[in-house]
Structure 1
Amino acid sequence: MKANWHRNTLIYQIDPSLFSDSNGDGRGDLKGIIQRLDYLQALGVGALWLMPLYRSPFKDAGYDVSDFMALDPRFGSEEDLRQLIVQAGERGMRVILELVAQHTSDQHPWFQRARRDKDSVYRDYYMWSDTPVDDGNQPIFPSVEDSIWHWDEQAGQYYRHLFYHHEPDLNLANPRVVEEIERIMVHWLELGIAGFRLDAASHLVEQAGGEDEEQGVWVLERFFKCMTQINPEGVLLGEVDVEPERYSHYFGNGERLGLVLDFWVNNHMFLALARGQAEPLQRAITQRPAPPDGANYAVWLRNHDELDLERLSEEEREEVMQVFAPEPDMRLYGRGIRRRLAPMLAGDVRHQALAQALLLSLPGAPIVRYGEEIGMGDDLSRPERLSVRTPMQWNTQANAGFSSARHLAAPVIDEGPFAYTQVNVEDQLNAPESLLGRVRPLLLARAGLPEVGDGEARLITVDHPAVFAVAHVGEATSVMVANLSNDTLTVKLDGMDLQGFKEIISDSQYPAANDRQLTLNGYGYRWWRRTGSKQ
């Protein structure tokens, strides 16, 4: 097995309840994922990131955990998980689990004991106050919760909750709580998982440090040490939505997070797409600190939440909103967009393929969310973030081939241009001009370019503002160019001679590049590679 594999792997994000239902109960499960592993392998996937599988009341898609040490029965058994790990491993794929260490469900036994007895050791597992305290934090879901403090009649005090009021925050400054989380980690690591995606990592660090981020990073070091004692090649993938200069706290010297989810680049990528200009993305890449050896950034287009644009200025945010979420119902929490990528790009297959090519050209480990490779849509009739959480669309059979049940965990999209009869895996598998027909070769090509994750990224100046160009220099050198506009362009790359490079993938057939001059279709992309010594 390869050390630091996570620096350069394609991560595929799966909502287990919405991916594939093997037993006809209307909810996706682990056996369903196992049945789809050949499909994932054919995409070049290197790691599966599974959203929460633990026992839960499911008021918040499983992020409200009531028992971290047990799988929810809807997903199957621990043996099913073990089989998934084994069978994924046989196909060169690892499995990453979600770790929700910032809060629990209010149904968790810890909280039930805490609220019953002020003298219980569990009381200090949570954050309590006789009166609401203004600690500078605001509700994460401001249109749903009006405070981060909730009165508990049984406890006779307020408890803090940054998220929903049924998700009380854990007191991570309490060593007992951290020991409990470590026991949870050990349990799942011993089954053979490759690491954890740390939900709300920046918030849990603040909670561990008494709101002092730099003081709280000890908790990441504890988690990293716990993990690597069992799996020396394990990774902690952290949700860190902060300014880029603060990323270094979360990396440390490589003994904290192995992958930082880069919201800064994500936000500026959408600003670049909205403008049809590369500058915002170029600027964002130059503003983030270099990761330490053994660590990297994780980059993505859309995830399971709203597209949170908090890292943009107010004017920039509104600019992106006007392009991609012009209607009020498309927006959420005063900061984000509750749409999938395909509807944001008006279903344009070329534009979506360009966005994926752009993502895959960025320095870092790319994450693709299930269904993004086929251009799945959203259901704005569903509340909040549930609009982008619909069943995977496998074929044109009933329920999109997701399940044989009459009642589903969530309704399939069955109307409009993104209905499963119009957008599904089966129809696109052997259609080269489909989105899957374009994206799958990109994903496979990217899987064969280790220098993109492991090498040195050098932005290339281009004589047109719509074109993003980057060289990745390692044991080999790759050059990746993307046209963010819908216009056909002929451009020059400053300081980059493509002599000796082989074109490995492009959106269509092009004449050979000469004298550093090359042509790009509207929403076109071209990648070259040269093996041999560093430049």
Structure 2
Amino acid sequence: MRPLWYRNAVIYQVDPSLFRDADGDGWGDLRGITERLDYVRSLGATCIWLMPIYTSPFKDGGYDVSDHLAIDPRFGDFADMVGLLEKAEELGIHVLVELVVQHTSDQHPWFQQARRDRNSPYRDYYVWADEPHETEVKPIFPTVEDSVWTWDEVAQQYYRHCFYRHEPDLNHANPKVREEMYRIMAFWLRLGVSGFRVDAAPYMIERAKAADPREDGHWLLDDMREFVAMRRPEAVLLGEVDVEPEVYSQYFGEGDRMTLLLDFWVNNHLFLALARSEAEPLTRALEEQPQPPEHAQYALWLRNHDELDLERLTEDEREEVMQAFAPEENMRAYHRGIRRRLAPMLGGDERRIAMVHSILFSLPGTPILRYGEEIGMGEDLSRPERLAVRTPMQWSDGPNAGYSQGDPQRFPAPVIDDGPFSYREVNAYAHTLRDDSLLKRTSEMVRMRLSLREIGFGTCRPARVDCKHVLALRYDNGSSVLMLANLSDHEVEVTVEEDDLHDLVDILDDVEYPRPKGRPLVVQLRGYGYRWMRRKEELFG
């Protein structure tokens, strides 16, 4: 495996409980994922990111872990995990798993022993106080939890929790906690995973700083990266780091800390650009954020398993996006985000959804596609909080959307069975029957994206054009690629004000266009159209 495989990769995010149930017990499982890896590979993805598979009460989608070294029986066993890893390796697919060590479930044996005995060695695995006090961390879910402190009758103290009260914070100021984290990482690396998505990284840093203020606690990332590199040099750390862009450098280091950072800054400004049908917010965000070090980069996505968190926007900008894509209160979450899938936000318009996908795959960094986005799945707003976007994969129009042959009463979430986004209307099988389907268009984008060496290893900057509705990015790496997307619903003619870009031909587009002509180059784009172009002489370079 190439050490820098992530530089030119496409990640497919899978929720194991909701992807496919192979044994008929109602829960998605590892065997179900393994049986659908050919689908993932046919899409073009080169890596899957598995959401939590560990033993858990599942009060928070598995992020409330009660045993980091065990697979929850609902997903299968270690033989099933090995089978998945072996099939993935055969297909050239990397596998990332979650590293959820900022907190545990309150059912974790560590916490149960800690709360029973103040003298237990596990007591200091968590953060305790005799009285609640102000901290620099605030509740992550302010409409659900009004404090980061909860009284525990057994412990006779308050324990801290940035997330839900059933997820007490681990104390990374305690070296024994860090040792436990490394045991967990070593175990999964030995099993063969290609790295970790590091959950809630800034809150781990906050506790590390309490033990040693050196580098504001970011020394922990140095240690984590060194630990991984010594055991599996090509493995990556994908950090969930929702902070201001000027702080990104502390998480990247010199390319020796986080390998990839989830780019909330660009994600937020992409949706602001979509709300305005203007490229400026996105091009500004790309120009304002720091360049990553040589061996690190950003990871980009459209929607993930959480709310669309818009905290990187100003209050006015946030409301502008809300009005465009979540006009009803039931569509919003935590006073900061949107709890909808991409397709319903865009009115189910496949032209517009495909255009937005073309932007994802044209941005500098590693794109992440959440399961179901490739077919335009919807959400279930009757489910609370972030669960609205966590529904079973819609494979076909058969019983239970082809997700399971089990009893629907036992499913972790009901299938979407009514409305324009029901499984009878939106499913993977139906998309395979149409040459112009969103699935096929997305697959074309993924494959073309992976074939362009300019994106994986070249430099990117916004190209100069004379139309505010058009996002224009150019990549250079010995050759040049120009990528255009029309954010408006009407046809435009755009002049490309780049003196050296001429004699271009399409390598990917939404429809067949006349070849662009002139100096400067004049290009046609239909409403929500997209075009990727190369110089004719470089077409087979």
Partner of 2:442: 439
8 Å contact from structure 2 (residues 22, 32) kept in 1: yes
* 1:31-430 correspondence runs (5 A): 31-210=31-210, 214-407=215-408, 408-430=411-433
Find the aligned partners of 1:62 and 1:89 in 2 and give their Cα distance: 25
- Following superposition, the deviation at residue 293 of structure 1 comes to 1.4
Could you say what secondary structure the match of 1:74 adopts? coil
Q: Compared with structure 1, are the counterparts of its residues 334 and 213 closer, same or farther at alpha carbon in structure 2 (3 Å cutoff)?
A: farther
SS in 1 for 2:240: strand
1:519 and 2:520 matched: no
SS at match of 1:73: coil
Give the secondary structure class of the aligned counterpart of 1:242: coil
Write the letter of the residue equivalent to 1:65.
V
Distance 2:280 2:356 in 1: 15
SS at match of 2:272: helix
Cα offset, 1:475, TM superposition: 4.3
Residue deviations 1:344-387 (CA, integer Å, cap 9, x gap): 00000000000000111100000000000000000000011110
Structure 1 position 342, deviation (Å):
0.4
Between 1:190-199 and 1:203-212, the stretch displaced more is 203-212
Who is 1:486 aligned against? 489
CA contact (8 A) 1:205 1:213 kept: no
Structure 1 counterpart of 2:57, one-letter code: P
SS in structure 2 of the partner of residue 190 of structure 1: helix
Amino acid at match of 1:521: R
Cα distance in 2, alignment partners of residues 321 and 398 from structure 1: 35
CA deviation vs aligned residue, 1:288-312 (integer Å, no higher than 9, x gap):
1111111100000000000000000
- Name the aligned partner's letter for residue 223 of structure 1: M
Contact 2:342 2:373 in 1 (8 A): yes
* Secondary structure of the corresponding residue to residue 534 of structure 2: strand
Which residue of the partner structure matches residue 477 of structure 1? 480
Amino acid across the alignment from 2:449 = R
* SS class of match (2:375): coil
Residue 46 of structure 1 contacts residue 94 of structure 1 at CA under 8 Å; is this kept in 2?
A: yes
Residue type at the aligned position of 1:138: K
Structure 2, gaps ≥5 residues long: none
Q: In 1, are the aligned partners of 2:124 and 2:174 still within 8 Å (CA)?
A: yes
Farther off after superposition, 94-103 or 113-122 = 113-122
Secondary structure class of the residue paired with 1:245: helix
State the AA in 1 paired with 2:305.
H
CA distance in 1, matches of 2:49, 2:440: 23
CA contact (8 A) 1:141 1:163 kept: yes
**Structure 2 CA distance for aligned equivalents of residues 60 and 219 of structure 1:** 26
Q: Is the 8 A contact 2:26 2:404 kept in 1?
A: yes
Contact 1:460 1:496 in 2 (8 A): no
Deviation of 1:215 after TM superposition, in Å, equals: 2.0
3-state SS of paired residue (2:168): coil
Partner of 1:14 in structure 2? 14
2:505 and 2:515 in contact (8 A); partners too: no
User: 1:460 matched to which residue of 2?
Assistant: 463
How far the C-alpha of 1:496 sits from its partner, in A, is 4.8
Selected match of 1:529 from 508, 526, 534: 534
2:361 is paired with a residue whose SS is helix
Contact 2:504 2:516 in 1 (8 A): no
Q: Which amino acid in the other structure matches residue 141 of structure 2?
A: F
C-alpha distance in structure 1 between counterparts of 2:195 and 2:478, whole Å: 28
The answer to whether structure 1 residue 495 and structure 2 residue 498 are counterparts is yes
Can you list the C-alpha shifts for 1:265-292, whole angstroms capped at 9, x where unaligned?
0000000000000000001111111111
Q: Counterpart of 1:370 in structure 2: which amino acid?
A: Y
Distance in 1 between the 2:196 and 2:478 partners?
A: 30
The TM-score, its normalising length taken from structure 2, stands at 0.97
From the superposition, tell whether residues 178 and 203 of structure 1 become closer, same or farther in structure 2 (CA, over 3 Å).
same
Query: Which residues of structure 1 form unaligned runs of 5+?
Result: none
AA at the equivalent of 2:401:
A
Rounded Cα–Cα distance in structure 1 between residues aligned with 2:525 and 2:254: 40
In structure 1, what is the Cα distance between the partners aligned to 2:381 and 2:86? 38
- Residue 240 of structure 1 aligns to a residue whose secondary structure is coil
Instruction: Give the direction of change, closer, same or farther, for the CA distance of 1:120–1:320 in structure 2 (3 Å limit).
Output: same
**RMSD of aligned residue pairs (Cα, Å):** 1.5
Query: How far apart, in 2, do the equivalents of 1:262 and 1:146 lie?
Result: 28
Paired residues in the alignment total 534
Q: Aligned equivalents of 1:503 and 1:497: distance in 2?
A: 17
Q: Is the 8 A contact 1:140 1:163 kept in 2?
A: yes
Q: Which amino acid aligns with 1:523?
A: Y
CA distance in 1, matches of 2:69, 2:26: 24
Q: Output the CA distance in 2 between the equivalents of 1:289 and 1:143.
A: 33
